[in-house]
A and B are shown apart, each in its own frame.
Chain A
Amino acid sequence: MDQKNTAQEIAGLRTTLLRVARLQLRNDTWAEDAVSETMVAAIEGLAAFDGRSQVRTWVIGILKHKIIDQFRRRSREVSMESQQELADGDALEDLFDHSGHRVAAPLEWGDPEANMSRGEFFAVLQACIDQLPAPLGRIFLLREWLEFDTSEICKEMKVTSTNCFVMLYRARLRLRECLDLNWFAGEGAPHHG
């Protein structure tokens, strides 16, 4: 493998890496740090890259570890935000009536494959995650994108397991409502036969 070309490819991934890091970390400085550390680690590790995966996949794998490192370093700040988020009122109660039943039908989203191949769908999903309060966005991505166990998430974010489940619940409900409104109810979603 031509290491010079691979190094150029890594440099060309910077914008993508920053987008992913900002989405996860919600902080430009932390994201810049994670991306810089990723690029240094990737360039230094070029000799170990065996070319069995795509460069992009390999570098994003490194970025995930660097994001986790950032979480560990910033855990005190993240924990304080998490507690504030849990103390906030919850607009999600509007979804249910006084007896706890849903007041409106959710939309059937259909075949996942129909949207997974569309870049616009992921742009809308990312925008919905961006709209979440930062701790909810982080915890959702730790769980669903980085595929952490909830016990690891509790440890990283310094929250109790109950708080962790509550935050994941709120994140999922808000994202579900956001996608209903901004993708599936609009022009974006493919029509189901």
Chain B
Amino acid sequence: MAKLFINCRQAHWLLSQQCDTRLRWYERLALRIHLRACDWCSIVARNFAYLSRAARHLDR
């Protein structure tokens, strides 16, 4: 059975995967539950989005 309660390491992994592929439903759910409770991982989620956006402008 898929785990719904994940730690920060697993959340970081899913946050990165989410940048590259569609997560499975239970992964999205586990990540959402974790992000609700974890401000630090929520910051990392925003950092990853920022990084992705910045990289697209690297040839400026």
Is B59 in contact with A175, judged by CB distance below 8 angstroms?
no
Q: In residues 19-51 of chain B, which contact A (Cβ within 8 Å)?
A: 19-21, 40-41, 43-44, 46-48, 50-51
- CB pair B41–A102 under 8 Å, yes or no, is yes
Asked whether, in the complex, the Cβ of A172 is within 8 Å of the Cβ of B59, the reply is no
Given contacts A96-B8, A169-B12, contact A23 B58 (CB under 8 A): yes
The A-B contact count (CB < 8 A) is 91
| Interface residue? A141 (CB, 8 A) | yes
Check: B55 CB closer than 8 A to any chain A CB.
yes
A112→B16 contact, CB < 8 A: no
Residues in B whose Cβ lies below 8 Å from that of A125: 54-55, 58
Taking a contact as CB atoms under 8 Å apart, the answer to whether B51 and A179 are in contact is yes
In the complex, A179→B39 CA distance in Å?
A: 19
Q: Is A80 an interface residue (CB 8 A)?
A: no
| Proximity string of chain A (149-193) to chain B, C-beta cutoff 8 Å, 1 when within and 0 when not | 010000000000000010011001101100100000000000000
CA distance A20 to B55 in the complex (A): 12
Contacts of A23 on B, CB cut-off 8 Å?
58
Q: How far is the CA of A144 from the CA of B54 in the complex (A)?
A: 9
Least CB distance, B24 to chain A, in whole angstroms: 13
Chain A residues numbered 107-148 whose CB sits less than 8 Å from any CB in chain B: 107-109, 112, 115-116, 119, 121-122, 125-126, 129, 140-141, 143-145, 147
Question: How distant is the Cα of A95 from the Cα of B40 in the complex, in angstroms?
Answer: 12
The 10 closest A-B pairs by CB, nearest first: A100-B7, A144-B55, A169-B16, A100-B9, A102-B8, A96-B9, A101-B8, A106-B43, A150-B20, A102-B40
Q: Can you report 13 residue pairs joining A to B where beta carbons are below 8 Å apart?
A: A20-B58, A23-B58, A95-B9, A102-B40, A112-B54, A119-B60, A141-B55, A144-B56, A165-B17, A168-B20, A172-B19, A173-B12, A179-B51
A-to-B contact residues, CB < 8 Å: 16, 20, 23, 60, 95-96, 99-102, 105-109, 112, 115-116, 119, 121-122, 125-126, 129, 140-141, 143-145, 147, 150, 165, 168-169, 172-173, 175-176, 179
